[in-house]
Every structure is written in C-alpha cells, then in structure tokens.
Amino acid sequence: MTAKTKKQPYILIILWLLLGACLFGLAGSSYSNLCLPQASRGQERLSAEQQALMAEAQHLRASLGGTVWPGWDAAPIPLIAFNESRVFLTGATEPPADGWVSVPREQQRGGAWSRVDEEIEALGQPYYRQTLPDPQITPQNFTVKVGEAWAASLMTKEASDISLVDEFRQQMPPVLRAVIPFGLAIRLFNSDWYISALLHESFHAYQGQNAPQRLYAAEFALNNHENDYPFEDEAAWQAELQALQDALRAKTDEEAARHAQTFLTLRAQRRAALQLTAEQIDLERQREWLEGSAKYTELAIWQAAARDEQYAPIAATSLLRDFQQYRGFNGRWQNEVGQITRSAGSETLFYYSGMAQAFLLDRLAPNWKESYFLPDIWLEELLAGALQ
C-alpha cells in the first residue's frame, strides 16, 4: 500500500504533463489555422513557383508521357492556371484566340489575352493573362478550348490549397474547425501531387484531340443521368470494388486475372440486381473511359518518373519546398489503392473503378491503348477480352 501511495504524485504529474501537451497542441493548431492565407497573393501574375510547376508538368510529359500514352508526349497542349481573379495561359500560339470555350457546353468565356514578358525565369517563355469576367465563371479543373487548341486547365496550387482548406472546414463539425491542423492536412497535396493533377487535365485535352465526340458524350452522360443513378446503393458496389482492389494487389498475373474475372461477374450481377437502365450502364462506362483513364494517367506518369533513374526534373523545381522528385509514389499508390473500396457513394467511384481496370490492362493486355480511342470501346470490354 505504501509503495502505491508514493507513486501517485508521479502519475498525477505525468497526467498533468500530458494534458498540458494536448492543450498546447490544440492552441498551436488553432494559431496555425489563423495564419493560413485566405486568398492568393500577387494574383495578377504567375508566381515563380507556379511557373515551375507548369514548366515541370510539360517537361515530364514531353520526357516520359509517350511511355504512358503513345503520342501524348508530342501533343501540343497549352496549360491554363487560374486563381480568384486571373486566368493565365502558357504554351499557346501567338497571339491566342480570345478567351476560352467551355466543354461540353461550348460557351465562349473571357476576352482578349495580354502577353507577359517579364519575370518569366522559371517558365522560360512568355505567358498570357486576363481578368476573370466573374469569380464564379472560371475555366474549371478540366479541359477547355482556346481557339482550336485543346488546353488543360487547373486552379493554381496556392488557390487550390486555400480551396482545399475551405472544403475541409465545411466538412468538419463547428467545434473541430478551430483545432484541426488544416495546414498539415494539405501537405498531402504537395507539388508532386499538383504536377500529376495538372497532367490528369492534360490527358483530358488529349482525349479531346483524339476523340472529341466521346469526351462530349461522357460529359453529357453525367449531366443528363447523374440524378437518376443509384449512387446511394453503396453496398451493391463493395464486392466489385474489393475484387478490383485485390486484383491490383495480386502477386501474380494469374491471381490478378482471377480477381479481374470476379470483378466482371460481380458487375453483371449488380447491374441485373439493381435493374440498371441502358443509360445508367452507359454512364458507368462513359465515366470510366473519361475520368478513370485520366486518373490512371495521373498515377502512371508519376510512377514513370519515380522508376526512371535517368529522369531529371527541371532546375526551377528547386523553388518548390515540398517537391519530392516523385519519390513518394509508393505511398501515393498505396493510398489510392486503399481508396478504391471507399469510393462508392458518388461519381468519384468511376475514377477508381476505371483507373483500376486501366492498370490491370497494363498487366494483362499491354497493347490495349491501341483500341482505346475507337468508337464504343469500353475498359470493361477490353478487360474481358484480355481474360479470354
């Protein structure tokens, strides 16, 4: 009894220290949130860091893009970045056509571009800019047309980080918004992630160049039938997604093929059980073709850079404090594969189901991209053919 009594003061001290550490951590987290920027700085120009990101994305595509998609490396694809008040265009012909045309609605937006020749060391070439006609009317994160050119469009990294923090805050209960360290959360979305995201949109531009009608059809399929699709039946998708996840984690081709066949069988069963309409089935195939393939490309180009020992990022990437030279791919891959079974419930699931099928096709039918742009060819059909 005496020994236990003597230990109590030390236990209390430890508990008080732990409590103090927790309170100190919460205070620090709250303060760090207060220090997060509310708007992009220097919105009228492309920062040197943003220039480096865009230049590296083009360099990576030109260097290794052909190993991911034959011809993608040489395709002329301008890049657009936008923040809260400005739109910037790089890699365009001189002078570019006015504004941009939205896809798939084909609405003309914006006005004349003005050329910027100064402070372009990181980019290495002039760029163009204009003021947003309305903060709510942006090129969005997708592909747009500038004249006849298909361009990739993405919010600047600084504006994207601010937008992500706002999105995180909205998803959190009010009591947690002040203490969750949002600054740490957005570190997951580093420069490597941003470059791959920009190349995701670049692939959409490549889809537009090679199969514009298919891209338009995939966008209209979502616009016309999203509200009718049974996204709420998440349980119906789980076994199917699990089979895809197991296939990507398979150690042998035979095991991967077995799980791929299970996926196709479960897919047919789910569609029959839910009595999906032809339009709803078409929505699945269209979105996997469009967004699943772009998600695949986003990861495959990162993987190519990580594995190629000869690849060297451009010198300007030294400006990017969070750039890891693609060394974090394995961690990103594990996170993305783990996300497959958590993706049901929204249109995001087609990003993952399509991405998984594309990587399986790389493994089971390496020449599958020869048929990808042909009319009415779907990833699931290519996968079924690979298993015959």
CA distance 248 to 359: 8
Residue 7: per-residue pLDDT: 46
The per-residue pLDDT for 182 is: 57
- Domain extents for the chain? 48-188, 212-387
The answer to whether the CB of 73 falls within 8 A of the CB of 61 is: yes
Predicted pLDDT of residue 39: 84
Cβ–Cβ contacts within 10 Å for residue 125, how many? 11
Q: Which pLDDT score is estimated for 179?
A: 52
For residue 220, give the amino acid letter. F
Q: How far apart are alpha carbons 149 and 157 in whole angstroms? A: 23
Half-sphere exposure of 144 (CA within 13 A, CB side): 26
pLDDT for 178: 56
Enumerate residues 6+ apart whose C-beta is below 8 A from 125. 90, 91
pLDDT of residue 165: 73
Say which residue the tokens 């269209």 belong to.
Answer: 286
* 49/316 Cα distance (integer angstroms): 8
pLDDT, position 240: 97
Contact criterion met (CB below 8 Å) for 79 and 90: yes
Question: What's residue 157's pLDDT?
Answer: 97
The per-residue pLDDT for 207 is 98
Note the pLDDT of residue 26. Answer: 42
pLDDT tens digits, the chain, 388 residues: what are they?
Answer: 434 444 455 454 444 445 454 444 444 445 455 556 678 888 999 999 999 999 999 999 999 999 999 999 999 999 999 999 999 999 998 899 999 999 999 999 999 999 999 999 999 999 999 999 998 999 999 999 999 999 999 999 999 998 887 675 676 666 555 556 656 667 778 999 999 999 999 999 999 999 999 999 999 999 999 999 999 999 999 999 999 999 999 999 999 999 999 999 999 999 999 999 999 999 999 999 999 999 999 999 999 999 999 999 999 999 999 999 999 999 999 999 999 999 999 999 999 999 999 999 999 999 999 999 999 999 999 999 999 9
- The residue type at 306: A
Q: What pLDDT is attached to residue 33? A: 53
